[in-house]
Amino acid sequence: MRLALLALVVAACAKKAEPPPPAPETPTIPAAELKRGEEACSTYVEKVCACTTDLAKKECELAKALPEAIRVSLEIAGGTRKRDEAIGANASVRNIIKGCIESLAQLPSLGCP
């Protein structure tokens, strides 16, 4: 009887370890949103670099780095397992795209068509 009781106690104490919960999926930017943003930045670079005013020439040098900045931020977002890092990198992509759209709208103020 004691042996059966001892076996029951040992079996109850030997809990199976539960597997850890799956890591939360890192967020990504929807493909359609990313495509529109990349097109907006490409259009901005083309237009500002085609413009001949002095202000536009200065902006052109800066604008040429925008597609690479998007690519690097997407690489960071896709290469990390940490959710907060992916969210930060995606926020950077969205801020760059926002800047492209706003700058595109301001081209006429630089004297560009």
Q: pLDDT tens digits, the chain, 113 residues: what are they?
A: 665 555 555 555 656 667 666 656 788 999 999 999 999 999 999 999 999 999 999 999 999 999 999 999 999 999 988 999 999 999 999 999 999 999 999 999 988 88
HSE-CB at 44 with a 13 A cutoff on CA atoms is 28
Evaluated on CA atoms 84, 23, 79, 67, the torsion sign reads: negative
pTM: 0.75
Domain ranges for the chain, please list them: 32-110
